[in-house]
Chains A and B, each alone.
Chain A
Amino acid sequence: MSQVNRLAQGGRIDRSQPLTFSFNGQTYQGYAGDTLAAALLANGVDVVGRSFKYSRPRGIVAAGAEEPNAVLQIGSTEAAQIPNVRATQQALYANLTATSTNGWPSVNTDLMGILGKVGGGMMPPGFYYKTFMYPQNLWLTYEKYIRKAAGLGRSPKENDPDIYDYMNQHCDVLVVGAGPAGLAAALAAGRSGARVILADEQEEFGGSLLSTREMLDDKPAADWAAKAIAELQKMPEVTLLPRATVNGYHDHNFLTIHQRLTDHLGDVAPMGQPRQRMHRVRAGRVVLATGAHERPLVYANNDVPGNMLADAVSTYVRRYGVAPGQKLVLSTNNDYAYRVVLDWLDAGRQVVAVADARSNPRGSWVEEARRRGVRVLTGSAVVEARGSKRVTGARICAIDLVSHKVTSPGEVLDCDLIVSSGGYSPVVHLASHLGGRPIWREDILAFVPGEGFQKRHCAGAVNGVFGLGDALADGFEAGAKAAAEVGFKAVTGSLPKAEKRIEEASVALFQVPHDKGTSRAPKQFVDQQNDVTAAGIELATREGFESVEHVKRYTALGFGTDQGKLGNINGLAIAAKSLGISIAEMGTTCSARTTPR
């Protein structure tokens, strides 16, 4: 099989090392440095699974921990089976064997899908409980069949051949996340002589620096990341933990880190090596630089494969050399999303149009896109995606944000990839573990960490500092402050210069209006993993579930393994709107675990 979507050059992959892997029995090829998701996209695999409730075909949406759909079963032997691995977080290794976790007889032709299509409108939240209520003693019989239709992966039937260990550690400063803010914080703390642990979830340190088109000191940002990592490696008191998820923030700055030592090497760990390790860390100070996840927009049929996050597409193009389509349409409400347009043009692909919800965007990236001949439709948004197993078109209409109405019949544009960006949601989970409720900030349309009892600092995008240069400075300051608080003499240092740009504020847009009204329009998915639609959330509020906790439980919003990383804020916004209150009044809930695995 050829890699139809692989770009001729670019990316941080090693093209001299092709790797063969299989997905649902088909053999494909990727390169060392790919994630499983990148390799699947490179091979033009659109459908990776079927949705939970309606069995709709689903494709890869994101590029990181927030992925809701590409949740796969991995393992070539019975003992090596691992259920529910996010393809976006699994490094590709030779002979990796992956299968979809649902879909019968296969993901491409699924019989349940017909039921979902026909009966979709008749399956509101609580459908099973409302329908199979009587006679009560038959519920156990019903449940058996309902359970069969749902469910994700399966656990292995044989014993795990691998060993797992744990380690107790102490440090002065623990830095969570090795993106721009995290690296800067680690540098500041490390240079002061403090004992530092830097933990990052991804295969490589650098976070967004590895895929951004922005320059630092007129060189690619990834160069600065490499320099910073090299400096950190030379410091004797600094421990670097890649592939390590900080999954718990406990009392008195006790944190647990789950490190995947050999998951990227194969099904079974090499002889004598542990597969995973739990670090139990007591930290003097903690710097949380956990970054932010991009938030998709909620429009009709936004779950058809070929609907992706803007940021994710940039990552696939620039980090993995994969362009998951040919003709792109962007729907956005902010400046940052325009990066994907420029990246897509650089990759030699076609940008059909940009629908910007703002009436007069004039930011630097917007102007650059216009200069390069991109058609920018202002005051509009993608209202509906066309296609069933792959996007075939996008309907763009003018919308009125205040009355939440579609104001023009719009036009249908031919495309095979719709990317959307509704702004960024800071990853506030760890900051909320010990109290410290997130605070809604209307100026950036996001929840940021509230005051906590812990001795911690938040830095970078998690704080709502989204600009690259500002995030670096914020991180450096937090790192220096943390080191100073535990008794090390803070050092000063110069940071690389980021580009100067004009940036414009985004406008609040979560659910895109549809001319038919939410309950009559094609499904607008909020939480793709649990098939929660905007109509479902409105129904919940109509039926009297007013607290965010109740709405969540009634609709199952944010209950999947992705813990609502993409959907929760959109769901909150929709519930708040239909109740006529503000998002701040609605409040949020927080998952205990950042990345369940």
Chain B
Amino acid sequence: MLHIFCPHCGELRSEEEFHVGGQAHIARPLDPNACTDEEWGEYLFFRDNPRGIHHELWIHAAGCRQYFNVTRHTVSYEILETYKIGERPSVTEAIVAAKKAADQGVTA
């Protein structure tokens, strides 16, 4: 069972109190009527399923009842950070890859 830090409550709580809300950072098209079927379908149904770092929306359903974002590793299930809606993640696949490359550059 996951142990999730709620950025609103400021506490580590058990997964039982939360619900997952799917992939985070999906922008709704500003004018749906202007979308092609393909664009609208993409927005509605198509989600990433990465092996590695994934940004997700969670709600603290049995707590503060607010949404927030979680960066989770889909292999180890490790939660790398949680942050409020509107904020940008500080841990992303690109940042981790850049850091890894930098580390290897230093050691090489």
Q: Is the CB of B2 within 8 A of A252?
A: yes
6 cross-chain pairs, A with B, having the tightest CB-CB distances, nearest first: A453-B76, A252-B3, A254-B1, A251-B77, A252-B2, A251-B2
Q: Is the CB of B78 within 8 A of A453?
A: yes
Q: Which partner residue on chain A sits nearest B79 by CB separation?
A: A252
Q: How far is the CA of A435 from the CA of B76 in the complex (A)?
A: 9
Contact with B along A239-270 (1 / 0, CB 8 A): 00000000000111110000000000000000
Q: How far is the CA of A14 from the CA of B24 in the complex (A)?
A: 64
Q: Please give the distance in Å from B72's CB to the nearest CB on chain A.
A: 10
Q: Does B90 sit within 8 A of A, measured CB to CB?
A: no
Name B's A-contacting residues (CB within 8 A): 1-3, 14, 75-79
Residues from chain A with a CB closer than 8 A to the CB of B76 are 435, 453
Residues from chain A with a CB closer than 8 A to the CB of B78 are 453
Q: Which partner residue on chain A sits nearest B14 by CB separation?
A: A282
Which residue of the partner chain, among B2, B3, B77, contacts A453 with CB atoms under 8 Å? B77
Q: How far is the CA of A254 from the CA of B1 in the complex (A)?
A: 6
* A251-301 interface (Cβ within 8 A of B): 251-254, 282
Q: Is the CB of B3 within 8 A of A282?
A: yes
Q: How far is the CA of A250 from the CA of B1 in the complex (A)?
A: 6
Q: How far is the CA of A517 from the CA of B76 in the complex (A)?
A: 47
Q: Which partner residue on chain B sits nearest A253 by CB separation?
A: B3
Residues from chain A with a CB closer than 8 A to the CB of B75 are 453
Q: Which partner residue on chain B sits nearest A250 by CB separation?
A: B1
Residues from chain B with a CB closer than 8 A to the CB of A250 are 1
Q: How far is the CA of A250 from the CA of B79 in the complex (A)?
A: 14
Q: Which partner residue on chain B sits nearest A454 by CB separation?
A: B76
A–B complex contacts, Cβ < 8 Å, 22 sampled: A250-B1, A251-B1, A251-B2, A251-B3, A251-B77, A252-B1, A252-B2, A252-B3, A252-B77, A252-B79, A253-B3, A254-B1, A254-B3, A254-B14, A282-B3, A282-B14, A434-B77, A435-B76, A453-B75, A453-B76, A453-B77, A453-B78
Q: How far is the CA of A282 from the CA of B78 in the complex (A)?
A: 15
Q: How far is the CA of A52 from the CA of B38 in the complex (A)?
A: 60
Residues from chain B with a CB closer than 8 A to the CB of A253 are 3
Q: How far is the CA of A325 from the CA of B69 in the complex (A)?
A: 66
Q: How far is the CA of A282 from the CA of B17 in the complex (A)?
A: 15
Q: How far is the CA of A593 from the CA of B31 in the complex (A)?
A: 53
Known: A252-B77, A282-B3, A453-B76. 13 other contacts (CB 8 A): A251-B2, A251-B77, A252-B1, A252-B2, A252-B3, A254-B1, A254-B3, A254-B14, A282-B14, A434-B77, A435-B76, A453-B75, A453-B78
Q: How far is the CA of A434 from the CA of B1 in the complex (A)?
A: 11
Q: Please give the distance in Å from A149's CB to the nearest CB on chain B.
A: 41
Q: How far is the CA of A282 from the CA of B15 in the complex (A)?
A: 12
Q: Please give the distance in Å from B44's CB to the nearest CB on chain A.
A: 30
Q: Which partner residue on chain A sits nearest B76 by CB separation?
A: A453
Residues from chain B with a CB closer than 8 A to the CB of A251 are 1-3, 77
Residues from chain A with a CB closer than 8 A to the CB of B79 are 252
Q: Please give the distance in Å from B96's CB to the nearest CB on chain A.
A: 16
Most chain B beta carbons < 10 A, residue from A250, A251, A282, A435: A251
Q: Please give the distance in Å from A282's CB to the nearest CB on chain B.
A: 6
Q: How far is the CA of A254 from the CA of B12 in the complex (A)?
A: 13
Q: Please give the distance in Å from A588's CB to the nearest CB on chain B.
A: 21
Q: How far is the CA of A453 from the CA of B77 in the complex (A)?
A: 9
Q: Which partner residue on chain B sits nearest A248 by CB separation?
A: B1
Q: How far is the CA of A434 from the CA of B76 in the complex (A)?
A: 8
Residues from chain B with a CB closer than 8 A to the CB of A434 are 77
Residues from chain A with a CB closer than 8 A to the CB of B3 are 251-254, 282
Q: How far is the CA of A453 from the CA of B75 in the complex (A)?
A: 9
Q: How far is the CA of A453 from the CA of B2 in the complex (A)?
A: 13
Q: Please give the distance in Å from A166's CB to the nearest CB on chain B.
A: 13
Q: How far is the CA of A250 from the CA of B77 in the complex (A)?
A: 11
* A518-543 interface (Cβ within 8 A of B): none
Most chain A beta carbons < 10 A, residue from B1, B75, B79: B1
Q: How far is the CA of A479 from the CA of B14 in the complex (A)?
A: 25
Q: Please give the distance in Å from A432's CB to the nearest CB on chain B.
A: 15
Residues from chain B with a CB closer than 8 A to the CB of A282 are 3, 14
Q: How far is the CA of A580 from the CA of B60 in the complex (A)?
A: 55
* A573-596 interface (Cβ within 8 A of B): none
Q: How far is the CA of A282 from the CA of B79 in the complex (A)?
A: 16
Contact with B along A423-436 (1 / 0, CB 8 A): 00000000000110
